[in-house]
Amino acid sequence: MAQEQKRNWVAIITMFFIFAMISFVTNMAAPFGNIWGMSYEWAGMAGNLMNFTAYLILGIPAGNMLIKYGYKKTALIALIVGAIGLGIQLLSGIVSNVYVYLLGALICGFCVCMLNTVVNPMLNLLGGGGNTGNQLVQAGGSLNSLAGTATPILAGALVGTLTKDSFPDVAPLIITGIVIFLAAFAVISFIKIVEPQGDLKNVTYEKSPLDFRHCKLGIIAIFFYVGVEIATPGMMNAWISHESWEGAATVAGSLAGIYWFLMLIGRLTSTFISGMVSTRTQMIAVSTLGIILIVAAIFTGDITTTLNINLGFIEISNATVPLSCVFIFLCGLCTSVMWGGIFNLSTEGLGKYTAKASGLFMVMVFGGGMMPFFQDLVVRPFTGYLGSYWLIVAMLVYILWYSVSGCKNVNKDIKVD
């Protein structure tokens, strides 16, 4: 029994490490994208779009990989794919070809899709599901947020002043990522990870995860959640960046940075309280608060405030900004726990169907590319920047409804062993 517990902790720590690498790979698209944006106006966010497109393409196949190869082999394949993707992005700067960069970003997207498919269900299952399963997912999410916060800061420190020829400056970070992936591959190869659901290859699936009402509705909730997570700071960044006062873009980036930092704080807090406070209670609380904050932001657009914030790595000095921005970046505390919470509620009681459900969840991560695009190109021209946040309110209302009612498992009669 003690040996089994030790093996489980090795697996848990390994999954934590992989969770951090997901954010590292995802956020490495931005520094290269900013450099390419100096030459091609459309290229700045194209790498992020390619990352999300990868989820749409590989989500279901990645779930099938868990069934065919298991958690460990799928993670190892993903690590090799990630090293190749980063290598191709590095090559794009050498050969000076933006399309090579986009290919690398797509391949990196394949990597993080597979890694996400592995870590979320495995941490939930290793924690035994329920509150403790959510606790492990939130702990892994904290490391994910930490890596997500550190990556752009390190890239910015290396690049300094952005130019068309900044590729060599960011190259050390890319090379470091490749080395970390290869080292992780070597370490995980020698670690014995017990598959939490045993051998899935010989399992018979009588139903689909979509036959579970709470899973089907949760998959929709994940689509909206990732849209909320990305669009909330993204629209604020675009709004403030387009202001005419000097240094607006710098302040806008810092405001968005605070949002992501608060996501880290929220996930750390959830890690400590999830053993005592149920996932459903947390989800109801944060979705309700998120709606209040965004509605407050919409109705305080004409009020300004002066911000002086120094977090060491984020500094804002005597910046007069709309009070709405404060409500918007505070929403990071709310979105911080939603990914793990929705996943936990949606897969509760799925048993052998969890791996297939994980693949479906990865497909819906495409909402992080689709919904911000829809908000910016379809809603904003009619409503303005702040008015477009009503779309975010609508998505949060659905997440609140799911947390209150939609998450209840009404299909307990389906065999899941």
| Residue 202 pLDDT exceeds 70 | no
Contacts 24+ apart (CB under 8 A), 103-106: 105/29, 105/32, 105/33, 105/46, 105/47, 105/48, 105/50, 105/51, 106/50, 106/51, 106/53, 106/54
Topology (CATH) of 207-417: Growth Hormone; Chain: A; (1.20.1250)
Domain boundaries, the chain: 1-193, 207-417
The single residue listed with the structure tokens 């599901």 is 129
- The pTM (predicted TM-score) of the whole model is 0.79
**Fold match, 1-193 / 207-417:** yes
Q: Which residues of 4-28 are buried (b: 16+ CB within 10 A; e: fewer)?
A: eeeebeebbebbbbbbbbbbbbbbb
Tokens representing residue 409 in the block: 């498992």
Contact 343, 200 (CB under 8 A): no
Contact at 8 Å (CB) between 362 and 55?
yes
Cα(260)–Cα(255) distance, rounded to whole angstroms? 9
Contact 261, 314 (CB under 8 A): yes
Percent of the chain with pLDDT over 70: 89
The number of CA neighbours under 13 Å toward the Cβ of 16 is: 16
Q: Mind listing the pLDDT tens digit for each residue in 278-318?
A: 989 999 999 999 999 999 999 998 899 999 988 877 788 88
pLDDT tens readout for residues 67-124: 888 888 998 999 999 999 999 999 998 998 989 999 999 999 999 999 988 887 778 7
Beta-bridge mates of residue 306: 320
Tell me the residue length of the chain.
417
Mention the CATH class of domain 1-193: mainly alpha
Question: Tokens in use for 130?
Answer: 């329920």
